Chains A and B, each alone.
Chain A
Amino acid sequence: MVGGQILFHGRDLLKLSREEMRRVRGRDIAMIFQDPLSALNPVLRIGYQVDEAMHAHDKVPRNQVAARSVHLLDTVRVPDASRRVRDYPHQFSGGMRQRAMIAMGLANRPELLIADEPTTALDVTVQAQILELLREMNRETGTSIILITHNLGVVAGLCSRVIVMYAGEIVEEGPIEQIFENPQHPYTWALLRSIPRIDFARHDRLRSIEGLPPDLIALPRGCKFHPRCPFRVERCLTDEPSLQTVKGGQRAACWVTMKRAYEEMGAADIIDTRPGAASGVHPPGFTLPPFGAADGGGPTGPSEVAAP
């Protein structure tokens, strides 16, 4: 860590010694990972691994640990938990492994649970069960959750607040209703329009975000999103915007914001999402990326086009 602070109950976690941090990790702050198969030890029984989380902190009395493991697995709906604590990870399905990992995370009743793409590797029906479990936990034990995900549907279903990151920085944050209905950063706006929705009767063409996520070794100057932004202005190429409050609780790091993009740049009608399309601002030497099949009239096969 190069700089900054991470305050947990007012205490800077970055100033803790290794041993002090060990006592916080898994006890007050727990984490669950995307891939439960590689996060579980394949040669240890599930029950042992859940027990271990509690033995490491002695928050739960030793003689109650084994019973609590069964109870935890039961809570996360591992069927026949009292027998299956003796199973190894390979005997569990993907959804059950993820549930076992959540049981480990919950073992010491943490105040904060960091869930890193907890459902990305799972089927939608299993994902729905896991999300319901997290929602219940949050409601019943008051555990705070940081959910890290790329799935905006999952965010809409589980979270109350959302932070949108791009190229290592927060570009927008706020209450979910505001972010989903009135995003102010063009990246958030574009992301929401680039995904098809199952509940929409008819789909328009998806609004793709042109270009690629930036190379973190050679980040662009100014706003990191400007090389892909249809609404960029001159200033975006040189000056980096900071997070500014746009509306109660909602902050965005953008010189333009979607309010102005709608009022002055016709964001509502924009079809061409290529960089700089709405504002006409291109950096020196910039050429529009090839647009493939869109140009050239009529149906032509590759070999026909190749002919002179």
Chain B
Amino acid sequence: MTSSVLPVSEPAATDAPLLRVIDVVKHFSAGVGATVKAVDGVSFDIRPGETVGLVGESGCGKSTLGRLITRLLPVTSGQILFDGVDLTALRGEHLRQQRKQLQIIFQDPFASLDPRMTIGDIIGEPLVNFGLAGRHEKDRRVQELLRVVGLNPYFNNRYPHEFSGGQRQRIGIARALALRPKLIVCDEPVSALDVSIQAQIVNLLEDLQAEFHLTYLFIAHDLSVVRHISDRVLVMYLGKLVEIAPSDVLYQSQQHPYTRALLSAIPVPDPRVESQRRLIHLSGEIPSPLHPPSGCRFHPRCPIAEAPGICSQVEPPMEQKAPGRFAACHFSDRVVTEVG
């Protein structure tokens, strides 16, 4: 695959992409002869300083993709270029050194912190691992990181159970920041938090991005939050990207029927808007990734599919439909007028 067909927000963007995901595939074996195609040929770019949102329903492969990018899982095939270096080809010490640049924040702030380590050791461990700080220096950096994420710097001797969910997520963020990474994969970072706390963490992530020139891949199922924080949004369905669009135009016009249906299902906290909102019904359930449908994977549920026909026979390629807008649909020009 050549770089010219890779979805970038502006074709003329001068910044070289920080992350380039090229035709990445991840298959899991599920018993004899069965394969779960969790991620099945995904390509996209992230430019430095950008926040890219990744949305999709349970089981679509979005978390798997986040884990492939951070090399927590090995890819089945494809390339992940980070700053021009192919992470999938790296092993051992070379991989370890690259990982400094690439951190992850997890969904569950309870499971992702070791209950028997102090906050100082949790946040400072990456520094020690990479030999970046001696004991005294570590304490100072940990206190600084705690201050940066809005926690009391003198909490470094406490344990995770003494903190609330939102505070723990701040600790997870401080740990991710410790090595001054360029890219942070945020995997559902606010989904487990109380509504009143979600805004605190979203605002903190925005502040940190401005301060430390961070690039985010923000994975979540809550499209409202994703759209708020992201410059561009990737929509994933059954192991594949179906649409890539700038977040400020996504709600107005869609190039893929699934995106449109997904957006129509989101309740808006305004009774007047809600009384007008029309739900686009999708028939059936998400098919099993063990046996994805032929042609376009969305065709059995798609309101405008030509099936049997092109949609059930030919898999639509991801194509640029308008400047900065990409979709994998044979009939993307009919989406806004004919779906819903």
Residues of A within 8 A of B (CB): 79, 93-96, 123-125, 127-129, 131-132, 150-157, 176-177, 180, 190-192, 194-199, 201-203, 205-210, 212-213, 289-294, 299-303, 305-306
Bound-complex Cα distance A290 to B270 (A):
33
Could you say which residues of chain A place their CB within 8 Å of the CB of B137? 306
CB closest residue in chain A, given B258: A125
Determine the distance from Cα of A158 to Cα of B228 in the docked complex, in whole angstroms.
24
A152 touches B199 (CB 8 A): no
B282 close to A (CB within 8 Å):
yes
- A209-B199 contact in complex given A197-B224, A302-B178, C-beta closer than 8 Å: yes
**17 A-B pairs in the complex with CB atoms less than 8 angstroms apart:** A125-B261, A127-B267, A128-B267, A150-B194, A192-B269, A195-B224, A196-B228, A198-B224, A199-B251, A199-B273, A208-B203, A292-B149, A293-B150, A302-B141, A302-B144, A306-B137, A306-B141
B112 adjacent to chain A (CB < 8 Å): no
> Is the interface on chain B under 10, 10 to 19, 20 to 34, or 35 or more residues?
35 or more
Residues of A within 8 A of B58 (CB): 94, 123
Interface segment, one of B8-16, B63-71, B207-215, B312-320: B207-215
Contact call A124/B265, Cβ cutoff below 8 A: yes
Q: Which residues of B contact A (CB under 8 A)?
A: 57-58, 137, 140-141, 143-145, 147-153, 164, 166-167, 177-178, 180, 194-200, 202-204, 206-208, 210-213, 221, 223-225, 227-228, 248, 251-252, 261-274, 277, 279, 281-282, 284-285
- Determine if B148 and A125 form an interchain contact, defined as CB atoms under 8 angstroms apart: no
List B contacts of A154 (CB < 8 A).
267
- CB contact between A206 and one of B150, B202, B251, B269 (< 8 Å): that residue: B202
A231→B270 CA distance, assembly (Å):
24
Known: A180-B269, A197-B270. A294 touches B207 (CB 8 A): yes
- Looking across the interface, which residue of chain B has its beta carbon closest to that of A157? B274
Most buried by B among A156, A176, A203, A292: A292
Q: A156-B267, A212-B197 are in contact. List 6 more A-B contacts (CB 8 A).
A: A132-B279, A153-B266, A153-B268, A198-B224, A207-B199, A306-B140
Whether the Cβ atoms of A195 and B199 lie closer than 8 Å is yes
Contact assessment for B206 and A290 in the assembled complex, using a CB-CB cutoff below 8 Å: no
Known: A157-B274, A212-B166. A131 touches B267 (CB 8 A): yes
Chain B contacts for A194, CB-based, 8 A = 195-196, 198-199
In the assembled complex, which residues on chain B have CB atoms less than 8 Å from the CB atom of A201?
248, 251-252
Q: Is A156 touching B269 in the complex (CB atoms < 8 A)?
A: yes
Is B274 a contact of A153 with CB atoms below 8 Å?
yes
Contact assessment for B211 and A197 in the assembled complex, using a CB-CB cutoff below 8 Å: no
Chain B neighbourhood of A206, CB < 8 A: 199, 202-203, 228
With A124-B266, A153-B266, A292-B207 known as contacts, the answer to whether A301 contacts B180 (CB < 8 A) is yes
B262 touches A124 (CB 8 A): yes
| Structural contact, A290 and B152, CB atoms closer than 8 A | yes
Residues of A within 8 A of B261 (CB): 125
The complex places the Cα of A208 from the Cα of B57 at a distance, in Å, of: 27
Partner of B150, one of A96, A177, A291, A303: A291
Question: Which one of B148, B213, B248 contacts A299 once the chains associate, using CB atoms below 8 Å?
Answer: B213
Residues in chain A near residue B202, CB distance under 8 A: 196, 206, 208
* Contact between A208 and B266, CB atoms less than 8 A apart: no
Q: Which residues of B contact A191 (CB under 8 A)?
A: 195-196
Is B268 a contact partner of A156 (Cβ separation < 8 A)? yes
Residue of A nearest to B147 (CB): A290
Residue numbers in B under 8 Å from A132 (CB-CB):
279
Determine the distance from Cα of A152 to Cα of B140 in the docked complex, in whole angstroms.
Answer: 42
Which of the residues A127, A196, A291, A306 comes within 8 Å of B224, measured between beta carbons?
A: A196
Residue of A nearest to B202 (CB): A206
Complex CA–CA separation, A196 to B247 (angstroms): 13
Q: Is the CB of B212 within 8 A of A124?
A: no
Measured CA separation A79–B301 after assembly (Å)? 14
A290 to B152, CA, bound (A): 7
A93 B211 Cβ-Cβ under 8 A: no
What A residues does B196 contact at CB under 8 A? 190-191, 194, 208-209, 213
B140 / chain A contacts, CB cutoff of 8 Å: 306
CA A156 to CA B277, docked complex, whole Å: 11
Are A293 and B262 in contact (CB-based, < 8 A)? no
Contact present for A152 and B269 (CB under 8 Å): yes
Residue of A nearest to B225 (CB): A196
What is the CA–CA distance of A197 and B153 in the complex, to the nearest angstrom? 34
Asked if A176 and B271 make an inter-chain contact with CB atoms under 8 angstroms apart, the answer reads: yes
Q: How far is the CA of A275 from the CA of B169 in the complex (A)?
A: 22
By the criterion CB–CB under 8 Å, are B285 and A302 in contact?
A: no
A-side contacts of B228, CB under 8 Å: 196, 203, 206
The complex places the Cα of A289 from the Cα of B150 at a distance, in Å, of 8
A206 to B199, CA, bound (A): 6
Q: Are B271 and A177 in contact (CB under 8 A)?
A: yes
Chain A residue contacts of B251, Cβ below 8 A? 198-199, 201
Q: Which residues of B contact A207 (CB under 8 A)?
A: 199
Q: A293 touching B269 by the CB < 8 A rule? A: no
Task: Give the residues in chain B near A292, CB-CB below 8 Å.
Answer: 147-150, 204, 207
